[in-house]
Amino acid sequence: MGLTQEALAAAAGLSTETIGRLERGVIHTNLFTFCKVAEALQTSPSALLAEKRSDEMVEIALGLPEPELQMATVMLRALSDHIMTRS
């Protein structure tokens, strides 16, 4: 989106210092603040979380040898199918 810390802070109703500290991981956020930042970024909180999870899963997958990656993919599909049929 290309926002500066100042623009994001203004859109979220937070201080520039708070945005900077959040970006650097100096402080953790609560749900209310997280939702305000997501709204300022014109996205949903779940989309922000999904991106992080996707990045983490890709990082894990890249570290696996091909046979183990194929096995992990089969296991993940089976787990997903199981969860979806329970819902």
Domain containing 39 equals 5-49
pTM over 0.85: no
Q: Are residues 37 and 61 in the same domain?
A: no
Q: Are residues 35 and 66 in the same domain?
A: no
Q: Which residue has the tokens 């956020």?
A: 29
Per-residue pLDDT in tens (0 to 9) along the chain, 87 residues = 688 999 999 999 999 999 999 999 899 888 899 999 999 999 988 888 877 777 788 788 888 899 998 999 899 889 988 888 886
First to last CA, the chain: 35
Q: Are residues 20 and 42 in the same domain?
A: yes
Give pLDDT, residue 39.
94
Q: Are residues 40 and 75 in the same domain?
A: no
* Signed CA dihedral, 32, 36, 41, 42: sign only: positive
What is the rounded distance in angstroms from the CA atom of residue 68 to the CA atom of residue 3?
40
What is the rounded distance in angstroms from the CA atom of residue 14 to the CA atom of residue 6?
9
Q: Are residues 64 and 39 in the same domain?
A: no
